[in-house]
Structure 1
Amino acid sequence: PRHVPAGAAPDANPAATRSLRLVQSAVLGTGNNDSDAGLNRTTGKENLGTVYQAEWSYNLGVLGYTWKTGTGGASPNDTAIGTAANWERTATSVKDTAGVLVLSK
């Protein structure tokens, strides 16, 4: 494997195999117990219908990082969560973060 300095783009070598090594409790997802759901029946047509709609929220934590609400938003989508600029490293060393990405041939 080759070492990629912190902050370097791993896309620089697209042919490399990527192995993600995470420490215990690197990423935590917790629910907020705020789920809400609705069920509506549709009648008066040829077939009966049912519409179910639900929503909920959860918290996501990554060891050694905090979420930048100012750039990523309070309710981010998957793309925003995957954008590095929306996360700020709070750990004093990269060795105290969630893990490492190893590039190998």
Structure 2
Amino acid sequence: MLRFLLARVEFPVNVIQGEEPFAEDEDWGYGPPRYLRPERVKLAAETLRATSYDQLLGDVDPAELTNAEVYPLRWGEPGALEWGRHWYDDLTQFLEAAAEAEDAVLVWLD
């Protein structure tokens, strides 16, 4: 869901799948692991903090998510769009902490 919503607003950093190759010939789940350089982590953290979850939802129609087959596929249920709020908040806090420490972030989906 977050990948869909972030792509929809043309988020400047790929925080869901990473950006830089980490291990080209390794497959740790949904493709090889990638990472975000510290300056990209900082940009992501600043942009996430400046973009509330409500802004991210904007004028999203639940049917858009259903048509795009976005997990978990129950977008017509009342309150379904709230499903991603805690993930967004956690992602924001995590990237803010990494940015504060000037760390890179390893990203992979398993």
For Structure 1 versus Structure 2, the TM-score category normalised by the shorter chain is under 0.3
Quick check: which one's helix share is greater?
2
Q: TM-score by structure 1 length?
A: 0.23
Quick check: which one's strand share is greater?
1
